[in-house]
Amino acid sequence: MEMKKLTYYSIAIGILAFCTYACKQPQQNSAEIISGIVWNDTEGNPINAHGGGIMFHNDTYYWYGEFKGDSTYRLDWVTTWECWRAEAGGVSCYSSKDLVNWTFEGVVLPSTPEDETSDLHPSQVIERPKVIYNDKTKKFVMWMHIESPDYEKAHAGVAISDSPTGKFTYLGSFKPNGEDSRDQTLFKDDDGRAYHIYSSEWNKTLYIGLLNDEYTQHTGVYTRNFINLSREAPAVFKHEGKYYLISSGCTGWDPNVAECAVADSMLGEWRVIGNPCIGSDADNTYHAQSTFVLPVEGKQNFYIAMFDRWNKTNLIDSRYVWLPLTFKEGKPVVEWKDKWAF
């Protein structure tokens, strides 16, 4: 009898322990996206892929982002703005079939602690990496923002790989078209042409440059957009033949209001159509900043708007805000959702 009681007791404790464990598990065990909480990878480690972008290739999504070091400090010798930074850990990659469960594929462009002169030394800044696939060369091409610790360098860096999971070979950095390149993204069009979109001229003006056939250099064909309007954090997507560009204002790590513009071609005229975000906290982009807009495969009129909720005093703990973007009355609309599923 006593033995039986003990067995029941042990089973009850076991069930309780399992439930407590299960409840603590990260969101990838459900099919829901919950913005702002810690997102763990399939091994239970927090996803470290900030300022990132997603490439869909051979039925798999690859998420590339900034792999931030775990100590944040402020450069007190930079007095014009709050220059918080973390050691640059390189560029990470996570893969997923369902956009909810993410497997860590490693740091596909590692930093180089052994080479103090390299752009990729942890003391430097590597931000907003984006990857596209070149169908002609069969290479995966990564562009990123390369900075000095005080953010005065303003270079674009390029790396290539034969595989989406690397390792990527770093080709170097430069000022495209002879001008600054800070926050940036890539856009590959249906016709195979690719564009580099980057904040230039001390972040005052956003440039869009056509890349060469290999996607590794600029062609010299570019446009200056939103002149003197200080836009950064660009994210570009195409919907029903038109091009859309979401960006933020320039307020360092602090959030501000997003803005969307539309154009008939990437190098054409961009017309501002307002803030795509609606509802509470729309005026500060739900305490976050744009990084990418992902068309979801197999869905019409359905995109994921990806934002970073920066934690400037603990940058590695910055969170991800992913929300559905749909078109209503011909305009892109993003609305806060506590949780959502596909």
Q: Does 87 bind ligand DGJ (CB under 6 A)?
A: no
Among 127, 180, 259, 335, binds ligand DGJ (CB under 6 A): 127
Number of residues that bind ligand DGJ (CB under 6 A): 9
Residue 118 CB neighbour total at 10 angstroms: 15
Closer residue to ligand DGJ in complex, CB, 232/259: 232
Site residues (CB under 6 A) for ligand DGJ, limited to 145-184:
183
CB of 67 to ligand DGJ, least distance (A): 14
Q: Does 130 bind ligand DGJ (CB under 6 A)?
A: no
Closer residue to ligand DGJ in complex, CB, 133/151: 151
Measured at CB, which residue is nearest to ligand DGJ? 252
Site residues (CB under 6 A) for ligand DGJ, limited to 223-242:
232-233
CB of 185 to ligand DGJ, least distance (A): 11
Q: How far is Cα 211 from Cα 206, in angstroms, rounded to an integer? A: 16
CB of 11 to ligand DGJ, least distance (A): 51
Q: Measured at the alpha carbon of residue 55, what is the angle toward residues 168 and 318, in degrees to the nearest 5?
A: 85
CB of 127 to ligand DGJ, least distance (A): 5
Closer residue to ligand DGJ in complex, CB, 164/249: 249
Q: How far is Cα 237 from Cα 300, in angstroms, rounded to an integer? A: 13
Closer residue to ligand DGJ in complex, CB, 40/185: 185
Q: Is 174 helix (H, G, I), strand (E, B) or coil?
A: strand
> Residue 109's closest CA among 148, 56, 159, 155?
159
The burial of 290, by beta-carbon neighbours within 10 Å (0-12 exposed, 13-18 middle, 19 or more buried), is given as buried
CB of 90 to ligand DGJ, least distance (A): 16
Closer residue to ligand DGJ in complex, CB, 105/127: 127
Among 14, 113, 252, 330, binds ligand DGJ (CB under 6 A): 252
Residue 12 CB neighbour total at 10 angstroms: 10
CB of 203 to ligand DGJ, least distance (A): 9
Q: Does 253 bind ligand DGJ (CB under 6 A)?
A: yes
The burial of 187, by beta-carbon neighbours within 10 Å (0-12 exposed, 13-18 middle, 19 or more buried), is given as buried
Site residues (CB under 6 A) for ligand DGJ, limited to 283-342:
289
Structure tokens at 204: 């005052």
CB of 145 to ligand DGJ, least distance (A): 7
Q: How far is Cα 172 from Cα 167, in angstroms, rounded to an integer? A: 15
Q: Where are the alpha helices (DSSP H) in the chain?
A: 2-24
Residue 243 CB neighbour total at 10 angstroms: 21
Percent helix, strand, coil in the chain, to 5, is 10, 50, 40
DSSP codes, 189-241: -TTS-EEEEEEETTTTEEEEEEE-TTSSSEEEEEEEESTTS--EEEEEEEETT
Among 68, 128, 139, 218, binds ligand DGJ (CB under 6 A): 128
CB of 51 to ligand DGJ, least distance (A): 5
Site residues (CB under 6 A) for ligand DGJ, limited to 50-79:
51
- Cα distances (Å, whole numbers) of residue 166 to 161, 286, 342: 6, 33, 29
CB of 66 to ligand DGJ, least distance (A): 8
Q: Which residues bind ligand DGJ (CB under 6 A)?
A: 51, 127-128, 183, 232-233, 252-253, 289
